[in-house]
Structure 1
Amino acid sequence: MMKDEIYHRAFGVYGIYYRQEQGLLVISKTSGPYANRLDLPGGSMAEGEGLDDTLRREFLEETGMQLINYQQLGITSFRYPWRFETFTMNNHIAVFNLVQQVHGNIAEKVREFPGQDSKGALFVKLADITPENSSPLVLKAKKFIQNNEFDFADTILQEWQVL
């Protein structure tokens, strides 16, 4: 870590929902460092929320589906350059959950409100997930699905491009 780096810290809770025939459930991100990329459903905790509350709320807001059954996989972080306000780096701490069962239908378009950073959800085949079109969280989820093992190692990127 260099002396002149100023870190923004983000903490979020995310769900991995994968179906062999459909692919990985992702959202189309509209803002932040992952704007115009595929991202996992989930996000930051609202005041007074627990991890479960956050995951259930974010999943419903961003995908239109209710969580029925899920389990926590682990926590990791992603650090990379990001110029935002006075910050030069981002440290994104993420709690990953494996979603096993949902209720409802996917919302290709979601309700807009202040703070909404998803324009809708979609299923994407693993072969179509690349570093060029996806957040580091989606890439970590892809690796988990392919290896059936969660990688707890922190991800450190030397460069990051906001699209």
Structure 2
Amino acid sequence: MTGLRHWFGEVRSASGMVRCLRPERIDPATGAIVRTDAEDTFQFSLTFEKGVVASMTASSAGGPGTGGRTFISGSEGSLVATQRGPNPEPDGVVLSAQVGTREFAELPMPSAFRPFDDERDHRLVAFRLLVREFERGIREGSSPAPSFEDGWRCQQVMDATRESSATGRTVAIG
């Protein structure tokens, strides 16, 4: 959600659904089957203040997934990125195609997005970049993203999606 807001601005409305498709789960500590009503599946469509429309679908109810896929299309072309798991990988590839072309081509990764490697865990690169921004904010007296406001805005979208799921209506935000 924070990434979508970073790319497209503030969300104007949301529609979607949330479900608990697997209410019986195994407690990893005891091995016992426990019942839950915690959502394990969601789908939403968002309309942003700038008119952009985005949708997302995810579920942890099934077996191994196929990872994630981001597809962005606009008046000048399209971008696509796939990943093996829920988090983007530091060596991930973004493909682009301009309107009128029939093939996607790999975009070079800007060095600012991968200034170092961390062999311990591929997810640490993104986390360490966020920590650098947090440290910069402390030094400069600013509040870089993600901030409390980012969390609040994301919560608004989640609440609107849950309301939409319950009512079947599109819900205005803000």
TM-score band (shorter)? under 0.3
Report the structure, 1 or 2, having the larger strand content: 1
Which structure has the greater CA radius of gyration?
A: 2
Report the structure, 1 or 2, having the larger helix content: 2
Q: Could you say which structure has the greater relative contact order, defined with CA pairs below 8 angstroms and 6 or more residues apart?
A: 1
Q: Which TM-score applies when normalising by structure 1?
A: 0.22
